[in-house]
């Protein structure tokens, strides 16, 4: 992580993607998050937004880019975009299938202008399929892939924020796909289309659970398995203060430490992997953890191999000693936000300033270099 006091020239040149240029068509959710990551890693990201759109240059997800206002219904503006794309390494768009083609900026047109370009497409349902043109959100994409049905208490599924579809199954798979295509293009000289769909990514994230189900180690039904809240040794518990802690003592040696530090001497706790015993053991452990405050349990368990952590709010997380020591959160423009991740030893990522820009000037700069 670069120091906040580092010169702006150093910040602009930092990151493993410092020599790459990416054109982003403004959107919401996973596309901007993916471009935030690419910008943090040093890529020059130009965001094309509609004229008059509300802009927040201090936005966390919008950090590190130059923003250009354009009317893409204007043929002259489309011609300018094509000129810019002629000198770009990648394009990222998150419209419904067919929109870019109707604008005259579909893959066939753009790749004819710049054959080495990587064309990243972010959608919920994908470019093809019976639902491709339907509206949807994260909750819908994770619903049809088996992910949402497995999350939550027995009574009903619980949306895991929009982490699984939008950001995990969407943005991160788009980033991986674009980077893989850029790597391949550097050898072959040919670009390609990256079709990143949130339903594809959410399904991919479920790979381990499909594997365990096939092996008979995972059963359908929430709170029925060892890491879905069913087991007493892997879950969330309320403390006397009303705050919560998390326990993940799966391995026998970690479970032994849990028993030692929580005082679980009762022989009934010997049946760690007996599913039939889990409900009763969970009730017993619930009462035990409610006997002390979260701070008390932190003093007893934090830093041990129990696999323990206090459950913190976002505000609390920014003040946790481990997070402070690693610089996991940083403040920019009065906004506390996660720092760039992952970390690079030789070409560190950095948060750069966002700004408005002129597409004509950008094109001239790109043509010269």
Catalytic annotation, residues = 137, 166
Q: Are 262 and 253 in contact (CB under 8 A)?
A: no
On the 0-12 / 13-18 / 19+ scale of CB atoms within 10 A, 319 is exposed
Query: Whole-angstrom Cα distance, residue 221 to residue 228?
Result: 9
Query: Whole-angstrom Cα distance, residue 152 to residue 159?
Result: 8
Query: Whole-angstrom Cα distance, residue 87 to residue 294?
Result: 55
Rounded to 5 degrees, φ, ψ at 43 are: -65, 145
Cis status of the peptide bond prior to 253, with omega within 30 of 0:
no
Token reading at 49:
């937004």
What is residue 81's three-state secondary structure? Answer: helix
Q: Are 239 and 309 in contact (CB under 8 A)?
A: no
Query: Whole-angstrom Cα distance, residue 181 to residue 269?
Result: 51
Q: Are 143 and 169 in contact (CB under 8 A)?
A: no
Instruction: Give the H or E element holding residue 11.
Output: helix 8-13
Closest CA to 308 of 359, 255, 364, 263: 255
Query: Whole-angstrom Cα distance, residue 333 to residue 251?
Result: 44
What is residue 26's three-state secondary structure? Answer: coil
């Amino acid at each position: 992580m670069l120091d906040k006091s580092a010169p702006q020239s150093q910040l602009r040149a930092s990151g493993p993607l410092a020599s790459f240029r990416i054109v982003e068509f403004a959107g919401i959710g996973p596309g901007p998050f993916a471009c935030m990551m690419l910008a943090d890693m040093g890529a020059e990201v130009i965001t094309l937004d509609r004229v008059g759109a509300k802009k927040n240059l201090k936005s966390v997800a919008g950090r590190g880019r130059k923003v250009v206002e354009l009317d893409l219904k204007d043929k002259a503006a489309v011609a300018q975009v094509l000129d810019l794309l002629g000198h770009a390494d990648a394009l990222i768009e998150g419209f419904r299938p067919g929109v870019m083609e109707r604008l005259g900026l579909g893959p066939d047109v753009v790749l004819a202008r710049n054959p080495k370009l990587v064309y990243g497409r972010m959608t919920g349902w994908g470019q093809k399929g019976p639902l491709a043109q339907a509206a949807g959100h994260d909750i819908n994409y994770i619903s049809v892939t088996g992910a949402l049905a497995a999350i939550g208490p027995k009574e009903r599924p619980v949306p895991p924020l929009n982490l699984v579809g939008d950001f995990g199954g969407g943005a991160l798979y788009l980033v991986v796909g674009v980077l893989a295509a850029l790597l391949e293009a550097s050898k072959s000289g040919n670009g390609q289309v990256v079709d990143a769909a949130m339903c594809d990514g959410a399904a991919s994230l479920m790979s381990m659970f499909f594997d365990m189900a096939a092996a008979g180690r995972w059963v359908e039904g929430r709170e029925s398995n060892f890491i879905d809240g069913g087991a007493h040794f892997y879950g969330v518990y309320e403390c006397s203060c009303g705050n919560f802690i998390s326990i993940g003592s799966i391995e026998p040696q970690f479970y032994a430490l849990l028993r030692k530090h929580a005082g679980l001497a009762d022989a009934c706790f010997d049946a760690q992997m007996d599913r039939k015993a889990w409900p009763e053991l969970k009730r017993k452990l619930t009462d035990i953890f409610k006997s002390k405050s979260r701070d008390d349990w932190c003093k007893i368990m934090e830093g041990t191999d129990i696999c323990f952590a206090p459950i913190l709010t976002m505000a609390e997380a920014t003040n946790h000693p481990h997070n402070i020591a690693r610089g996991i959160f940083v403040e920019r423009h009065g906004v506390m936000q996660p720092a760039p991740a992952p970390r690079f030893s030789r070409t560190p990522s950095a948060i750069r300033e966002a700004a408005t820009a002129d597409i004509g000037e950008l094109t001239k700069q790109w043509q010269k270099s």
